[in-house]
Amino acid sequence: MSTNLNGFIIADPNKCIGCKVCEVACSVAHVDKEAITAGVIDAPLITRLYLVKTATLTMPIQCRHCEDAPCAQVCPVGAITQTKGKIIIDEAGCIGCKTCLMACPFGAIDFVPVYKNGEVVIQNGLQMETADGLMEKEMVVASKCDLCVDHYGGPACVVACPEQALKMIVPKLEKKKRNVDAAISMLESVKRFI
């Protein structure tokens, strides 16, 4: 078995100001073309982390890349797998059953339309009854944080946050750092007794 734990991104609610730059950066990192200015964007921004705002706190929530990922456990078509230390959804294989949405304790998975060249992608067969008769139905797939697998320079949200409120956690390093911190603080407290 692997002893390397999956990395994940987490936000510090004490630093987050709720500006949504992370959502914009996430959306832009996952569109099908390079977009630096707003005018280049020709499809809705679809983010994979979600700013939560309540009366008392503001912070984005995203996938934890669980070691025993419940989303993968329940996916009936095996479209969720672990690849190179990340839990990844195969959008082409997803049937939109929403079981993963129900299984995820963080609400990290959403179901979103797919856009190519600014146009929404339509399903092959399923049609939708509307007031104007039967219409084609847009494709909807499961979507969540992929730690910016294809993005140069690491996770876009972490880089973009103007408050440095987001952090990429590498669990093993985090654990070792905590060991060291604990040892140092122990030294201080031990000194007082010995």
Partner 1 sequence: MSEKIISVIGLDANPVIQIDQELCTGCLRCVAVCPVDAIEGAKGQPQTIRQDLCVACGQCVQICSAYASIFDEGIAPREQKMAERGLLSSVKEPLFAAYNSGDGLKVKAALSDSDLFTMVQCAPAVRVAIAEEFGLPLGSLTPGKMAAALRKLGFDRVYDTNFAADVTIMEEGSELIQRVTTGGTLPMFTSCCPAWVKYVEQTYPELLAHLSSCKSPQQMAGVLFKTYGAQVDKVAPEKIFSVSVMPCTCKKFECDRPEMNDSGYRDVDVVITTRELAQLIKDAGIDFLDLAEGKFDKALGNYTGAGTIFGVTGGVMEAALRTGYELITKEAIPDLNLNFVRGGEGIRKASVKVGDLTLKVAMVSGLKNAKVIMEQIKAGTADYHFVEVMCCPVGCVSGGGQPKVLLPSDKPTSYANRTASTYVHDANLPLRKSHDNPAVQKLYKAFLGEPLGHESHHLLHTQYVSRK
One symbol per residue from 169 to 188: x for binding partner 1 (CB under 8 A), - otherwise; what is it?
--------------------
Cα–Cα separations (whole angstroms), residue 55 to 58, 160, 179:
8, 25, 35
Among 96, 107, 154, 162, binds partner 1 (CB under 8 A): 162
Contact criterion met (CB below 8 Å) for 143 and 48 = yes
Nearer to partner 1, 81 or 115 (CB): 115
One symbol per residue from 52 to 71: x for binding partner 1 (CB under 8 A), - otherwise; what is it?
-x----x-------------
Among 1, 38, 131, 184, binds partner 1 (CB under 8 A): 38
Mode of pairing for the β-strands spanning 119-120 and 115-116: antiparallel
Q: Which region, judged by CB under 8 A, interacts with partner 1, from 25-33, 65-73, 144-152, 170-178?
A: 25-33
Q: Which region, judged by CB under 8 A, interacts with partner 1, from 28-36, 60-68, 87-95, 126-134?
A: 28-36
One symbol per residue from 130 to 159: x for binding partner 1 (CB under 8 A), - otherwise; what is it?
-----------------------------x
Produce one character per residue of 165-177: b if its CB has 16 or more CB atoms within 10 Å, e if not: bbbeebeeeeeee
* Residue 122 structure tokens: 């339509």
- Per the rule left: phi > 0, alpha: psi between -120 and 50, beta: everything else, 18 is left
Contact set for partner 1, span 101-120 (CB under 8 A): 110, 113, 118
> Considering the rule CB under 8 A, would residue 31 count as an interface residue with partner 1?
no
Produce one character per residue of 137-152: b if its CB has 16 or more CB atoms within 10 Å, e if not: eebbbbbbbbbbeebe
Closest CA to 121 of 129, 131, 113: 113
State the minimum distance, in angstroms, from the CB of residue 186 to partner 1: 39
Q: Which positions touch partner 1 (CB under 8 A)?
A: 17-21, 23-25, 28, 33-47, 51, 53, 58, 110, 113, 118, 159-160, 162
